[in-house]
Amino acid sequence: MKIDGYTRTCGLIGNPVEHTMSPIIHNTLSKRLGMNLVYVPFHVPDGHLKEAVAGAFALNLLGLNVTVPYKSEVIPFLKDLDPLAEQIGAVNTLVRQEDGYKGYNTDILGLYRAMCGDDVKIEGENVLILGAGGVARAVAMLLAQKGASRILLLNRSLDKAVCVAEEVNAVAGRRLAEAMPLSDHRKLPEGERYLAIQATNVGMYPNVDEAVITDDSFYQKIHTGYDLIFNPSQTRFMKLVKDHGGRAFGGMKMLLYQGIIAYELWTGAQVGKELEEEIYGRLTKAMEK
């Protein structure tokens, strides 16, 4: 890769960032598309987010991705906010404007593109969400926007799930989302089949043998399971869904597409299917290592 006085820089800010696979996505895109752009991770210590955003703009960085724990904290330091990101209350992509950065949430756009690619339907579906954190909230907003019939948030802390459900219902303008204690999952009606989205970090490497729910009766009610974790490539949640006859998908394509959409926002490039598949293969090989 040639680096000269015209090279633009994008990167990732978070704490930690050392584990990231995003450079695989963005530097491969630059190489294949002939873009004079490099992507690097930046570890931002606690208490230095404001300075990091201002410094990135001062240094003429074209754009940034934002990862934990700063996806909501970064919002006050932006000049503009995409309506979807504002609704979700979280940002993972900053795009340079004339007087500052504009925030987007390509995580949720990436999830929707991945679900469409996997032929997972949202409209008219009864959906279970495991978790009630920021990711679960974003997923619930997406489901409301895309026409889910009913959303049930299952979480250990009922209060958190109630808060998310109320926010979703306020946006939807109707009673669409409900909260349920995780321990009540056995009360789900027999004969009902659900799309289930696993939106916690339970089962993430290195704790690969864990799942939020392990009860067989729960998985008999799942026709499709989507785990937002990408490491490991097959979580215990996914295995349990498959063992009971359902389709199961992991978070690798969401990771891929959130990165591609961010790159398209930064550069105006359009990424084709063949290049998407090449990068997906590179991510998969990197995961195996």
Catalytic residues: 71
Q: Which strand ranges, in their side-by-side order, compose the sheet holding 80-81?
A: 37-43, 8-14, 63-66, 93-96, 101-104, 80-81
Q: Which long-range contacts (CB under 8 A, 24 or more apart) does 181-185 make?
A: 181/154, 181/155, 181/156, 182/130, 182/154, 182/155, 182/156, 182/212, 182/213, 183/156, 184/154, 185/154, 185/213, 185/215, 185/218
Amino acid at 238: M
The C-alpha atoms of residue 36 and residue 3 are separated, in whole angstroms, by 7
Check: CB of residue 142 under 8 Å from CB of residue 112.
Answer: yes
Phi, psi for 106 (deg, rounded to 5): -85, -10
The C-alpha atoms of residue 282 and residue 287 are separated, in whole angstroms, by 9
The C-alpha atoms of residue 10 and residue 191 are separated, in whole angstroms, by 49
Amino acid at 245: G
Could you tell me how far CA 223 lies from the centroid of its own chain? 22
Amino acid at 8: R
Closest CA to 119 of 216, 226, 239, 35: 226
| Element at 120 (helix H, strand E) | none
